[in-house]
Amino acid sequence: MELTELYDHLRRGGAATLNHPATYAVVDGAVIAPARYAGRNGSEFVFETRYVDGEFRRTALIDSKQSQSNRAEEGLATARRSSEAAARVPIIEVAYEGREALSDLRLPHRAFDAHIRFARQDGSPVVDGSWYRALRDATHADLSPVFVTSPATLAFGGWDSSRKTGQLRLRGLLVSELFGVVAGVDPVSRRSGARLDPLGQDFYVTPDELDALVDRQREHLSPKLVEQVEKDADAARKKKAETLSASKLNLGGIPPGTETPHGVSVPAVHRARTLSLAGLRRLRFGGNEEDDVAGRGALLALLLLGNAYADADPDLRAYCDVAAPRARVILDDQEIELDLSIDACGAHLREAIDRLPARLEWTGQIQAVTGDPALNRGADDATADDAVG
| Domains held by the chain: number | 2
Q: Within a domain: residue 254?
A: no
Q: What is the pTM of this model?
A: 0.85
- Same domain as 349, residue 202: no
Is the Cβ–Cβ distance between 294 and 361 less than 8 Å? Answer: no
What tens digit of pLDDT does each residue of 210-262 get? 999 999 999 898 888 999 999 999 999 999 999 999 888 888 776 665 466 67
- Is there a single domain that holds both residue 63 and residue 160? yes
Same domain, 344 and 238: no
pLDDT digits (tens, 9 = 90+) for 40-57: 666 688 999 999 999 999
- On whether both 239 and 367 belong to a single domain, the answer is no
Q: Are residues 31 and 127 in the same domain?
A: yes
Same-domain pairing of 336 and 210: no
Consecutive H or E run containing 300: helix 289-312
Check whether residue 242 and residue 331 sit in a common domain.
Answer: no
HSE toward the beta carbon, residue 361, CA cutoff 13 A: 5
Asked whether residue 142 falls in the same domain as residue 278, the answer is yes
Residue 387 pLDDT grade (very low, low, confident, very high; cuts 50, 70, 90): very low
Phi then psi dihedrals of residue 326, to 5 deg: -105, 110
Q: Kindly state whether residues 179 and 225 are assigned to the same domain.
A: no
Q: Containing domain of residue 206, as a range? A: 194-249
d(CA 75, CA 92): 17
Helices (H) and strands (E) in the chain, counts: 11, 22
Q: What tens digit of pLDDT does each residue of 101-117 get?
A: 999 999 999 999 999 99
Q: Is residue 265, in this structure, part of any structural domain at all?
A: no
Does a structural domain hold residue 302? yes
C-alpha span between 367 and 148 (Å, rounded): 10
One domain for residues 50 and 117: yes
Residues 233 and 180 in one domain: no
Report CA-CA distances (Å) from 65 to 71, 236, 294, 316: 10, 47, 27, 13
Q: What is the pLDDT of residue 386?
A: 44
For residue 28, being part of any structural domain is answered with yes
Residue 385 placed within a domain: no
Answer yes or no: are the C-beta atoms of 181 and 266 closer than 8 Å: yes
| DSSP class per residue in 196-232 | --SS-S--EE-HHHHHHHHHHHGGGS-HHHHHHHHHH
> What distances in angstroms separate CA 74 from CA 80, 148, 152, one per listed residue?
10, 20, 11
Residues shown for the chain = 389
